[in-house]
Chain A
Amino acid sequence: MNNNIEPILTGRGLVKRYGRVTALDHADFDLYPGEILAVIGDNGAGKSSMIKAVSGATIPDEGEVMLEGKPVHFTSPIDAREAGIETVYQNLALSPALSIADNMFMGREVRKKGFLGKYMRMLDRPKMEQIARDKLSELGLLTIQNINQTVETLSGGQRQGVAVARAAAFGSKVIILDEPTAALGVKESRKVLELISDVRSRGIPIVLISHNMPHVFEVADRIHIHRLGKRLCVINPKDYSMSDAVAFMTGAKEPT
């Protein structure tokens, strides 16, 4: 990315300690408008901790997060969501016993208009179901027949699809995906990668955390390599090979 464009989401000097473990050790992070930024790193490098710190799921011990150049202090995922940042967490954060529609609108339910909604607090089920159905088919997940079926009756790929669709439907500024293809088969992964490209084509920047080098090199504009709780370097996938990237993230080779 060129230097005169301002990053949309920035982390500076982020520190997060869990007891004696330092998950984040003065980590920096930059996401530019319209790009797909891949974040790679060994297991336990602190990738999830970093995106949790910029998405309000944890509060960093030190450091600063800025959205569009302005400092933000998210104290819950709700704050980040209200600022336009949607995250698909590694564990998906879906409620298995609730329906697809309930899950997509969790925490931002739509109420009926008029008396029923205002005084009886009644949810507008038909409207939420319609929007959920539209979003899923927009993202090519039409195979899900019944929007009222519970999430636990879906396959792993379909659940991932619901989580990604939820983020894509509501994310207005940034979408963060933590290992969205880790649990998926080849075809399901392909579907999620297509979703990611679709979302990017709408101009929304994406953070993609992944272990899968072919996927990362296929879709990423830039690759943030995370090692031992901090950003080691950022590389352009056109300038480096997959084995270079693996060598950096495992410490076998130092970036120049």
Chain B
Amino acid sequence: MSKSQQDFESVLSDSATDVASFSQKKTLLDKIQSLLHANPALVPLIVLMLSLLVFGLILGEKFFSPFSLTLILQQVAIVGFVGAAQTLIIITAGIDLSVGAIMVLSSVVMGQFTFRYGLPVEFAILCGLGVGAICGFINGFLVAVVKLPPFIVTLGMWQIVLASNFLYSANETIRSQDIAEKAAALHFFGEKVKIGGAVFTYGVIFMVVLVLVLNYILNHTAWGRHVYAIGDDSDAAELSGVQVKKTLISVYVIAGLICALAGWVLIGRIGSVSPTAGQFANIESITAVVIGGISLFGGRGSIMGMLFGALIVGVFSLGLRLIGTDPQWTYMLIGILIISAVAIDQWIRRVSA
């Protein structure tokens, strides 16, 4: 090699060995930036701890009791489920506006199949889960194969699914007493486990388990790595051997299935099957994801962050309610958190070495 090396490059061996750089010394801020870059769930975790601390100091026992803290968990169970589905989609650089509608339609199918057609409740639940998966598949097919923008596809699906939900259910609510009598399985996730003053529902426990399992899958399996690679740069992922279409469709199907599970949990939470429930699940799930430090540009963030994001919202809601302020203050604080989270995300993304 060195023999054939171009003559004019022979001086290279004497050239300076350091690379161009502006001050190699890393400031504290640079170090923080790198740390957050490597651990995207750290910011929401710190915010969560701080808000627990502050409300605990202000409210004392009233807030810092096993009962209140587990009440927060119960209140974020649904958002946690739907947020998990939303996280998967947003990591692929998509967005899913139809999550709430899929959740409600699935719960209505579970209820109506049992009560209108007299099908066994277990089978009706399976049908509800199937409906969620099919909605997810349609989203995934339109995004991955027809190559329509996720925002538009899911905006359309939101309307279509919601309209189907109202037309099919004829706006009819199935009462809690009827469910308890004839189809108790629909209330499964509402069942409670009491440990001292702490109250956990199966829904809460299952939500936390689901998030932990998804966290494992996203970080320790090839499929999970592919989901991140697609969100990062889908052309690059395709060229480096990722089956982009197949993976994307699978992400949307799994998201649809999780939303359907959320529909089942929803029945346990509110007791009845109502076609008008869960209207804010869309916005609440996106809020949890964004406050959780997951980048809307895709490819970055941790699903644990989403859980912390959902809990932050839960802590603020309960804390401010116990203090007795106007609930509008909660929304205002959440608004500030959303904008701050995105600003921090932009800053972290500018990290260099």
Contacts from A to B (Cβ < 8 Å): 57, 76-78, 81, 87, 89, 91-98, 102-103, 106-109, 111, 120-123, 125, 149-150, 152-155, 166, 186-187, 190, 193-194, 197, 214, 218-219
**Known contacts A78-B243, A106-B242, A153-B352, A121 near B299 by CB under 8 Å:** no
Greatest chain A CB density within 10 A among B239, B351, B352 is at B239
**Known contacts A93-B235, A106-B225, A123 near B240 by CB under 8 Å:** no
- Shortest C-beta distance, A207 to chain B (Å), equals 16
* Selected contact of B233 from candidates A95, A166, A219, CB within 8 Å: A95
**Known contacts A77-B238, A190-B9, A111 near B243 by CB under 8 Å:** no
**Known contacts A186-B12, A187-B15, A96 near B243 by CB under 8 Å:** no
- Shortest C-beta distance, A241 to chain B (Å), equals 15
Would A94 and B240 count as touching, CB distance under 8 A?
A: yes
CB contacts (< 8 Å) of B4 on chain A: these are: 218-219
> CA A166 – CA B241 in complex, angstroms?
12
New A-B pairs, 9, CB < 8 Å, besides A81-B241, A122-B221, A218-B6: A77-B239, A77-B241, A98-B225, A106-B225, A106-B229, A106-B237, A153-B351, A190-B12, A218-B4
> CA A219 – CA B12 in complex, angstroms?
18
- Shortest C-beta distance, A206 to chain B (Å), equals 14
Q: Is B26 positioned at the interface, with any CB of A under 8 Å from its CB?
A: no
Q: Is B195 positioned at the interface, with any CB of A under 8 Å from its CB?
A: no
CB contacts (< 8 Å) of B5 on chain A: these are: 190, 218
CB contacts (< 8 Å) of A98 on chain B: these are: 225, 228-229, 232, 299
Interface 1/0 per residue, B194-228 and A, CB below 8 Å: 00000000000000000000000100111101101
- Shortest C-beta distance, B241 to chain A (Å), equals 2
CB contacts (< 8 Å) of B222 on chain A: these are: 109, 111, 121, 123
Q: Is B353 positioned at the interface, with any CB of A under 8 Å from its CB?
A: yes
Would A97 and B300 count as touching, CB distance under 8 A?
A: yes
- Shortest C-beta distance, B177 to chain A (Å), equals 43
**Known contacts A103-B240, A121-B222, A123-B222, A187 near B233 by CB under 8 Å:** no
Q: Is B146 positioned at the interface, with any CB of A under 8 Å from its CB?
A: no
CB-CB nearest in chain A for B239: A93
- Shortest C-beta distance, A82 to chain B (Å), equals 9
Interface 1/0 per residue, B1-40 and A, CB below 8 Å: 1001110010010010001000000000000000001000
> CA A166 – CA B240 in complex, angstroms?
10
- Shortest C-beta distance, B31 to chain A (Å), equals 13
> CA A96 – CA B225 in complex, angstroms?
13
Q: Chain B, interface size: which category?
A: 20 to 34
Would B225 and A123 count as touching, CB distance under 8 A?
A: yes
Would A187 and B12 count as touching, CB distance under 8 A?
A: yes
**Known contacts A95-B232, A95-B233, A186 near B9 by CB under 8 Å:** yes
CB contacts (< 8 Å) of A77 on chain B: these are: 238-241
Q: Is B236 positioned at the interface, with any CB of A under 8 Å from its CB?
A: yes
Would B233 and A96 count as touching, CB distance under 8 A?
A: yes
Greatest chain A CB density within 10 A among B222, B235, B241 is at B241
List, sorted by A's number, 28 A–B pairs whose CB atoms are closer than 8 Å.
A77-B239, A81-B241, A87-B239, A89-B239, A92-B236, A94-B236, A94-B240, A95-B233, A95-B299, A97-B299, A97-B300, A98-B232, A102-B225, A102-B229, A106-B237, A106-B240, A108-B241, A122-B220, A123-B221, A123-B222, A149-B353, A153-B353, A187-B12, A190-B12, A197-B1, A214-B6, A218-B4, A218-B6
CB contacts (< 8 Å) of A125 on chain B: these are: 220
CB contacts (< 8 Å) of A190 on chain B: these are: 5, 9, 12
> CA A218 – CA B300 in complex, angstroms?
42
CB contacts (< 8 Å) of B223 on chain A: these are: 121
> CA A97 – CA B352 in complex, angstroms?
12
- Shortest C-beta distance, A151 to chain B (Å), equals 9
CB contacts (< 8 Å) of A81 on chain B: these are: 241
Greatest chain A CB density within 10 A among B5, B9, B240, B352 is at B240
* Selected contact of A107 from candidates B12, B37, B242, CB within 8 Å: B242
> CA A57 – CA B242 in complex, angstroms?
12
Would A95 and B236 count as touching, CB distance under 8 A?
A: yes
**Known contacts A153-B352, A197-B1, A97 near B232 by CB under 8 Å:** yes
> CA A150 – CA B238 in complex, angstroms?
19
- Shortest C-beta distance, A246 to chain B (Å), equals 17
Would B241 and A95 count as touching, CB distance under 8 A?
A: no
CB contacts (< 8 Å) of B15 on chain A: these are: 187
Greatest chain B CB density within 10 A among A77, A107, A152, A190 is at A107
> CA A92 – CA B232 in complex, angstroms?
14
> CA A77 – CA B225 in complex, angstroms?
18
CB contacts (< 8 Å) of B220 on chain A: these are: 120-123, 125
> CA A108 – CA B185 in complex, angstroms?
43
CB contacts (< 8 Å) of A108 on chain B: these are: 241
